[in-house]
Amino acid sequence: MRARVTSFLAGLHSPERVYQRWQGPCMVWVAWLGLILAAINPPHGTGITVCWIKLYTGIDCLGCGLTRSMSCGLRGMFTESFNYHPFGLFILLLFLFTVVTNLLPSVRRRVEIWMEAHAMLCNGLYLLFVVSFVTFGTVRAIVELFHRFAAF
């Protein structure tokens, strides 16, 4: 167990992948796609469920509401954005930062150098974000299931 903890902490200090994790090509594509979808979708959705988990189970997935949240955030509707998904505004800011950084090579290089110099902070924030996102989505689904079964 001690070896696993030591290995995990060593991974947090590792600067090799920190920039790729936050600003790599995959993240750039996801950011562009997310911003485009948020820009073209109406703030309160189209009324059509595109989430297959929600469609087949009736339960929100981890990301249900993110597109509507980001769409509201782009339009300055911050309360509605938070209500659709609490992580929407943070993801919107992350996507905007990623796109701007990608478009400006000199800024991109400075961000990469900074992230590598602060690998533990960046990797820790990444881990915190993933754990928080999954925890929120899981708790939301459990509460939804509880309310559904309590209604019977």
Q: Contact at 8 Å (CB) between 87 and 73?
A: no
State the total domains in the chain: 1
Decide if 6 is inside a domain.
no
Chain centre to alpha carbon of residue 124: 15
Domain carrying residue 79: 16-150
In this predicted model, what pLDDT tens digit does every residue of 111-123 receive, in sequence order?
A: 989 998 998 899 8
Q: Is the pLDDT of residue 151 over 80?
A: no
- CA dihedral of residues 70, 74, 75, 77 (deg, nearest 10): 50
Q: Contact at 8 Å (CB) between 112 and 19?
A: yes
Decide if 7 is inside a domain.
no
* Residue of 21 and 108 predicted with greater confidence: 108
* Amino acid at position 31, single letter: A
CA angle 75, 77, 80 (to 5 degrees): 135
Decide if 29 is inside a domain.
yes
Decide if 54 is inside a domain.
yes
